[in-house]
Amino acid sequence: MATFIVLMGAPGAGKGTQAKLLQEKLGLPQVATGDLFRANLKNQTELGKLANSYMEKGELVPDEVTVAMVKDRLSQPDCVKGAILDGFPRTVAQADALDHLLAEAFHGKISIVPHIHVDVAALVERLQKRAEIEGRADDNEETIRNRMKVYEEATAPLLEYYAARGLLVEIDGDRPIEVVQADLVQQITQASS
């Protein structure tokens, strides 16, 4: 059976870094919704045009459009063994849609939901350093703390949703990258066997 992993973590928790390492280690593609949106918009796909029609009005792209992009991506040949979902789902409604999508279209289900947790103070420090390196003046401490608050409020129900289903695994992200990676690989291997 295919291995579908929902990787969760606040901005700055190292989710993107870990997803790329997992991709290499497990041979599963990283499916990041941000990348999907950019690719669909750039390539002027029907889904990209539809998403853009909402974005131009300053509206949120409806879940069904995002789910359709994820479905399209997961139907690509490199996802036959599964995928690492990064940035999706973001809400319980999207999580329900993902469950139905995986069951109906791919005869699969989510294997595990690792949540990379890092203390807020450490996240703020990491994001400030990243902002300095990338020259992003908008990432000051106040903005970063607000993003953390929004993330926690938005994802708390999702964490509860996956915990209730026995899929959530807490990963301490406040350790060296290779230690976090080893922990993730061990947890995913256990869940997939």
The CATH number of the domain where 115 resides is what?
Answer: 3.40.50.300
Q: What's the number of CA atoms in the CB half-sphere (13 Å) around residue 121?
A: 0
Burial of 76 (0-12, 13-18, 19+ CB in 10 A): exposed
Whether 191 is in a domain gets the answer no
> Which amino acid is residue 54, in one-letter code?
Y
For residue 111, pLDDT beyond 70 = yes
Whether 21 is in a domain gets the answer yes
Whether 193 is in a domain gets the answer no
Active site residues: 15, 90, 130, 136, 147
Number of domains in the chain: 1
pLDDT tens figures, 42-90: 999 999 999 889 888 888 788 899 999 999 999 999 999 999 999 899 8
Q: From CA 116, how far away is CA 135, in angstroms rounded?
A: 26
For residue 18, pLDDT beyond 70 = yes
What pLDDT, on the 0 to 100 scale, is given for residue 137? 66
Average pLDDT over residues 112-139: 84
* Domain span at 28: 3-186
Q: Are 110 and 5 in contact (CB under 8 A)?
A: yes
**pLDDT band at 20; cut points 50, 70, 90:** very high
Q: Are 18 and 116 in contact (CB under 8 A)?
A: yes
Q: Are 173 and 13 in contact (CB under 8 A)?
A: yes
Whether 143 is in a domain gets the answer yes
Tokens of 169: 């695994």
What is the reported pTM? Answer: 0.89
- The full length of the chain comes to 193
